[in-house]
Every structure is written in C-alpha cells, then in structure tokens.
Structure 1
C-alpha cells in the first residue's frame, strides 16, 4: 500500500478510521461501497499503520495516511481532499479532523454544518457505516465483509480467531 505523496490527478476521498482491528473490519462494507461508487477516485484511509497488513486485504483502498489517533492532526494539506468521510464516530473531534482538511464535501452523520442521516442508536456497526455511505449516494452492502486470504501460510493452520473487542463503549 502506498503512502500519500503528490496528487496523481484523480480526486481523493479520505476516510478517517483511526481505531483498531475490529473497527477496520466492520468498516469493510462502507469502504467497498465508497470504492464501487467512485472508481475514478483515490481512496485514502487515515488509520494506524499497524493495521496496514489487514487493510491490504480489503482491496478497496489505495493509500494509507498513518494516523495513531485523533490527537494528531492529519498530515494532509487543507483543500487537497475532495471528500472527507468520518467513519471514526460522531463526535466533534473526528468531525474537526475532517473539517480541517477543507474538503469540497463532508460525509458523516447529521451535525452542525454536516448534512447526513441521524446517528442511529444501537444496531450493528457495520450496518451503521454501510448505511451512512449509502445515504451519501455510495451504496454499500452491510454483508460485504469478506477480505482476501493472505498469501502467507497461517502460523496456526485450522485455528479461528474471534475478535471480541478490547475497549469499553463510551459511558460504560
């Protein structure tokens, strides 16, 4: 996967998802919806670099902007990005990171200055993110979860990993 360098003439869509492994996996349907809706664009994802090997298996992203979290300003020149997509959450910090890019278009849930659907209470996160990008005219199938099989052999053939999450939800 390439890093963000000079623009190559294609419109750029930046997706903010500076979280962990489970958060990447539940965003796969939304990432695929973005890619299918905008095959002309460079899809740029802002997330931690340690997720790059898994991100490569999604086959929907062109560029990774290393982003350890929301505490760090994204290393992208303001005005460069055509569309900024907030798949990080619904708070002022993630919206602020997207707004600082000064994109032509903001994709997220409804908030002051943002057009979008209301934040859904409850439900599966993959449906939340697929629904969000679908509302913004980038149809996503929430069941489109499969990722490509890695080329390397498994160090534990026949085993299955179940990721149950590691961080408590805010307010719990």
Structure 2
C-alpha cells in the first residue's frame, strides 16, 4: 500500500470523507481534501517509515535467532522538520486553489520504533522537551520550549494529527 493510500485509509478510519488531490502542471499540491461535520480540511500527509536496509538488517538478525535492538533518540529532528517545511509549501500552494476551513498536517509513523518516530514528530512540531520539576522531583513535558514547527509555520498549519502504526491518534490545534 502506498503512503497516499495508507494515509487515506487511516483518515477514513477517523471518520473523514477523503478526496485525493491531483498535481496539475507540476504545481505543488496537498494530498487531500477531507470533509467532516460540515468542515473542509486541506491535508498534507507525511509518512515516516523505516529504511529498507534497516528492515533487511532486522530480518537477518531475527532469522539467525538473535535479539534485534534499535535505539531511538527523542527530541527535535531536522529531517522531520524538512518534511514539515515541504508540507508548508504544499498546503500554501493548495490553499490558493481549494476552498477550505483548516490546513492540516497529518503525520503517520510506521515500522520499527513507530511510537518513538511519532514522539519525535511531536517534539519537532510542538517544540516539546522534558523539564525537571524541583518541587516534586518529576519530569514534565514542556511545549513550545524549543524550536516549534507549528510556531514557525503558523501561517500554514492550523492543526495536525500524528499517528503511529499502533493506531493511537493525537490531535493538536494551535
């Protein structure tokens, strides 16, 4: 299943009526127009999945009966930020042509450590980091603390959905 088909499938599971947009004359175009309860959403979908070499490595290790481990580092990710910058361009280009109520980024994470990929997207989009509370000795999430692509591209993104392949959606709106 292609990334577009997968994104459309998941958006429809969430209850949206989804129409795929075509890219005429090489113009950058968002992926979908979606409709829900009288609202129209212009949606750019981004899919983060595993490198084929990493999947092959995992298969080889597991087929030998060994334990496969893949570490993941949380925090801002410039590769994801670059994808969000491309999404901004596509949403702004489509917004000139298609009537809509909200512009939305949809981020789907799949594969090995999908939950960590999803959290990295959240860290990047919302500028999230963990801070230590001296009063009760706990770590707490702090949003818009670091560079936030939602803030940086506030003229392009009005809301977002991040989703991992464990099917745990999180909605964010500015």
Output the TM-score relative to the length of structure 1: 0.28
Q: More strand by proportion, 1 or 2? A: 2
TM-score normalized by the length of structure 2:
0.28
Larger radius of gyration: 2
